Structure 1
Amino acid sequence: MDPQQSQFSYVPSTFSPQQQPNPSMSGGGGMMTMQYHSQPPNNNNMFIGQPSQPMAPTSNTNVPQLQQEGIIIIGGHPSQQQQQPNFNTSQSMMFGHHHQPQTMTTSSPMSQPIMMQPSNGPVKEQWVKEVLDVSSEYSSDYGARNVIGESRVYPLHEDSNKAWVPEKERNNQEFIIVEFPFYSVITGVRIYETYNPGSIVKISCLPKGRDAYKRKFSQDDTVRNSTEFMFPNDWITLYEGPPQQPLFKGKSNIFSPPLMTNGIEPKILLITMNTLQSESWSEIDAIQLIGIPTEAEFLNGMKELWAGAVLAVSSEYGNGWVATNVIGKPSVYPKYGDDSKAWAPKSESGTFEFITLDFLEPLLLSKIEIYETYCPGALVKVTGYSNHSSMESGTVLYQGAIEEGLPDLARIKTIEVLGGGGVAIAKSIPIRYLRLDIDTTRSKGYYEIDAVKVTGFPVVGLGMSRTL
């Protein structure tokens, strides 16, 4: 069972939230020149119900200093503004060998983050759920989807294939657009810069109600240009400042600037970088959205559980691709490929398979997420059970046809546990076990699952016993 190498197309770009680049292409002999004609956004259009004047910059020297090993959080930016490059730019890219990694941990002062926070409500932190678009990627291994989930590189300062790396080393404008699970009144952002920090010059968001989009995946294993926003002119600027690379030479950094915000409720962020002053590739490991949650289910204490045990399985490939690989958090995602850290059934195609998982405690389910990391689309049914005695007659939570023609990308198959009229059918049924039924009759390769997560309300405290 040989892992297959995914193919990747390198296409650099600049980005304006108001206008997608219009490329003209020429080149040959290993070099490609891309010219883009895109004007910088009009600041008057970037604010919806916000002040027209940005906040005065705060000097780092005036920010209170705290000592914490391995962390630098910048709460301001230098008062000396630097001229920004024009967005009308000609870019060239050359294919070549990637830079050699250098590793360094840091013990540095931490600046107290300055955040405009509403006066009441619990503040919660969220990690990225999905990447919607990106200017460029060095390769699929250094792809934008590496920023999904918790930080995996920080506090190391190193070149890592667990972070997002843009295609060009410097002299380029780069961006990444990410989505978080829940809406919240934003109070802060944390961006984990793990190689050559200081290139972030702008943070923008789409407010709730103006963030609708459509996906249009390609087959080249990249999310670039994969999202069409319904309101592309409605980005709101949360932060804007000059590059700060000289401040962080040889150090990793958590960038958490003051935000120009007044009750904005987003879950989509746009991070823009200027890498002109970077000594080498600037890399981002993870991004956090900090805010006061407004969605009732998030606010009222929902819980997430990963599969804790495998109760039964139809077959497994073996030699690494065993069923117990599904237990716990993802080991493969967001990578795509035939990987022995995921579960694969014994046969490549033409069979009906299943796996039954124990999440160790019951939840009143709201959502199920299946991390499919190779040849996705074969899941056709999910059944939930409260206890062992109910294994013959469970609750069908999802049933659907085989999904054909999906791109060669790892994905999270998300199942909202909803019935008619949007009412959650499992909110009154405690679910501890899930059976996943898989139809590989039309699979183009081994169907592989990396992990399974459920979200719901804990049964304890709702008048129900944890032991069912």
Structure 2
Amino acid sequence: MSLNWKWACALSLALVASGCGKKEEAPATAEPAQTATDTAASNAPAPAATAPAPAQSAATDEKAAAIQAALAEEAIASDSRGQWAVSATASSTYAGNKEPDAKEGYAPLSATGAPNVERYGDNGNSWATETPDKGIEWLEVGFAKPVNATQIRIRQNYSPGAIIKVELIAEDGSKHTIWQGVDDQQYAPSTIVWFDRAFEKTSYKAKGARITLATNAVSGWNEIDAVQLLGD
């Protein structure tokens, strides 16, 4: 065999061997890189839950409070155990006519009978002292039927909180203190309120009550619309 033929055979074998070798694997496809927008979106906080609406609006709350106040007033007015004052005198009065039986605005008699002041505020249908903030003043009321008393209610329609003593007047004219002190009740602003005190049934028949105020303790005229005595 000639030398040239040997080289040709060797070259052919080399070419066949290279064709039979393992084919190189294509590189794995790379995941696309996240854009800035994608990153921001993935890191963004979850949307906050929508806050529930209030159960009641302020207007509804005010309406509910007004309804409760009306029901409370109705319960007092219709209480079969109670009676309203029928006569009254006072230490002073803002009324121009100072006579005990005067029936003009702010006179002591304005504190007799059932409540007739509809809204909180200065009102001639209630009793008021001659001047505000003077100091010690009193209102004395009488009732048609003497009773063994158990409770008294005093309706304050303007600047409440000045009452410092309540006495009951027995049939013989003697006075008996059933409450004395500082009125520490938390009254809602601009609201007609009741000074309401219950006590053990009196052994005597009460025919009246004297209400003492320290008018300098609560500024302005401390007006009283009505007084109710309960008992049997």
TM-score, structure 2 length as denominator?
0.64
1:322 aligns with 2:107: yes
Q: Any conservation in 2 of the 1:316–1:322 contact (CA below 8 Å)?
A: yes
2:179 to 383, 390, 398: 398
Instruction: Return the offset for 1:350.
Output: 2.6
Q: Greater strand share, 1 or 2?
A: 1
2:63 to 126, 137, 162: 137
Q: Which residue of 2 aligns with 1:53?
A: none
Q: Which residue of 2 aligns with 1:408?
A: 190
| Aligned partner of residue 109 in structure 2, secondary structure | helix
1:442 to 206, 214, 217: 217
Q: Which residue of 1 aligns with 2:53?
A: 36
Measured in 2, the distance between the counterparts of 1:92 and 1:382 equals 38
Q: After TM superposition, list the pairs within 5 Å mapping 1:93-172 onto structure 2.
A: 135-137=61-63, 143-144=66-67, 145-150=69-74
Instruction: Return the offset for 1:148.
Output: 4.0
Q: Any conservation in 1 of the 2:201–2:231 contact (CA below 8 Å)?
A: no
| Aligned partner of residue 132 in structure 2, secondary structure | coil
Q: Which residue of 2 aligns with 1:365?
A: 149
The 1:348/1:403 distance shift into structure 2, 3 A limit, reads farther
TM-score, structure 1 length as denominator?
0.33
Q: Name the Cα RMSD after superposition.
A: 3.0
Q: Which residue of 2 aligns with 1:15?
A: none
Q: Any conservation in 2 of the 1:402–1:439 contact (CA below 8 Å)?
A: no
Q: After TM superposition, list the pairs within 5 Å mapping 1:271-420 onto structure 2.
A: 303-310=81-88, 312-318=89-95, 320-333=105-118, 335-387=119-171, 389-390=172-173, 393-403=174-184, 406=187, 407-417=189-199
Q: Which has the higher contact order (CA 8 A, sep 6+)?
A: 2
Letter in 1 for 2:106: W
Instruction: Return the offset for 1:322.
Output: 1.2
Q: Any conservation in 1 of the 2:132–2:216 contact (CA below 8 Å)?
A: no
Measured in 2, the distance between the counterparts of 1:405 and 1:92 equals 21
Letter in 2 for 1:36: A
Amino-acid identity (%): 23
Q: Greater helix share, 1 or 2?
A: 2
Q: Any conservation in 2 of the 1:378–1:403 contact (CA below 8 Å)?
A: no
Bigger Cα Rg: 2
Q: Any conservation in 1 of the 2:163–2:183 contact (CA below 8 Å)?
A: yes
The 1:92/1:385 distance shift into structure 2, 3 A limit, reads closer
Give the total of aligned pairs.
Answer: 171
Q: Any conservation in 1 of the 2:148–2:201 contact (CA below 8 Å)?
A: no
